[in-house]
């Protein structure tokens, strides 16, 4: 279904559950044009869905909307739970703030709203992990910036399971951190990946070099948020891959 086509609304059936993951990739240089795509692809998609169901008698019972741990301000020492409230402080946090704000509108339609603040999703099919692995395959893996930045990650299988878990649990409402319970710093993350790939972990790319090469997108690599999934654990969700080594051993071939 393409909502740029005329009369697309009539093709949408009555729906009990909506899972909204729409959004342009962050894995491109953040030019002015791409930053606009990052913002609008998320906000317009969510707002369009809201306007569609607002006009209908049948509203979704559950509306699940993706978000990101970029909601939280970078901090080397703080541990973030869902209780922390933040206002926008940079581009990515502004995107997340506006995205969540649009999603919360579904509460006025009587829908139970679940917002999943995704950490770094580890998958062998795409995202950050194949790029990281490639650097080790070519013997250039190592420390990025200070190496002290926290990487709040989650295995793709646990992410999918957690989405379904919160959709099916009527007690699940509001924002949830979709991260593994054991967070690692970048240097240890890289060292663990090196051991599993049987490659060295010895290079160092300074923060300045990353900012020069990646531009504003370097915040994805250098920002540090230690985010833990308190609300998921309170609902008794069990992680299949709570430990980074176990997760990487499953994904790296």
Pair of tokens at residue 152:
């709040």
Task: Provide the b/e sequence for 185-214 (b: ≥16 CB within 10 Å).
Answer: bbbebbbbbbebbebebeeebeeeebbeee
Pair of tokens at residue 56:
């209908």
Find the helix packing angle between 186-197 and 128-137, rounded to 10°. Answer: 60
| pTM (global) more than 0.85 | yes
- Tokens 């926008």 locate to 88
In this prediction, residue 1 has a pLDDT band, given cuts at 50, 70 and 90, of low
Pair of tokens at residue 81:
């739970």
Task: Using alpha carbons only, give the angle 153, 101, 79 rounded to the nearest 5 degrees.
Answer: 35
In the chain, % of residues over pLDDT 70: 100
Q: What are the two backbone dihedrals, phi and then psi, of residue 145, each rounded to the nearest 5 degrees?
A: 65, -135
Question: What domains appear along the chain, each with residue ranges and CATH number?
Answer: 14-251 (3.40.50.720)
Cβ-contact 180, 119 below 8 angstroms: yes
Give residue-wise pLDDT tens across range 161-178. 999 999 999 999 999 999
């Amino acid at each position: 279904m393409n909502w740029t086509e005329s009369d697309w609304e009539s093709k949408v059936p009555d729906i009990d559950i909506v899972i909204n993951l729409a959004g342009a990739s962050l894995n491109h240089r953040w030019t002015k044009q791409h930053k606009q795509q990052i913002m609008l692809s998320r906000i317009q998609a969510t707002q369009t869905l809201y306007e569609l169901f607002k006009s209908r008698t049948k509203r979704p019972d559950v509306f699940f909307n993706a978000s990101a741990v970029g909601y939280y301000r970078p901090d080397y020492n703080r541990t973030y739970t869902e209780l922390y409230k933040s206002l926008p402080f940079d581009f990515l946090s502004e995107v997340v703030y506006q995205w969540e704000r649009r999603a919360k509108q579904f509460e006025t339609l009587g829908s139970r709203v679940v917002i999943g603040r995704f950490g770094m999703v580890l998958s062998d099919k795409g995202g950050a992990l194949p790029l990281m692995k490639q650097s080790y395959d070519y013997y250039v893996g190592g420390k990025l910036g200070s190496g002290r930045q926290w990487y709040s990650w989650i295995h793709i299988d646990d992410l999918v399971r957690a989405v379904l878990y919160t959709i099916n649990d009527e007690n699940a409402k509001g924002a949830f951190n979709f991260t593994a319970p054991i967070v690692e710093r970048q240097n240890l993350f890289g060292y663990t990946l090196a051991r599993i790939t049987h490659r060295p972990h010895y290079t160092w790319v300074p923060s300045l070099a990353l900012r020069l090469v990646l531009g504003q997108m370097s915040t994805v690599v250098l920002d540090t948020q230690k985010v833990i999934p308190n609300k998921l654990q309170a609902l008794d969700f069990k992680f299949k891959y709570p430990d980074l080594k176990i997760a990487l051993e499953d994904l790296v071939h």
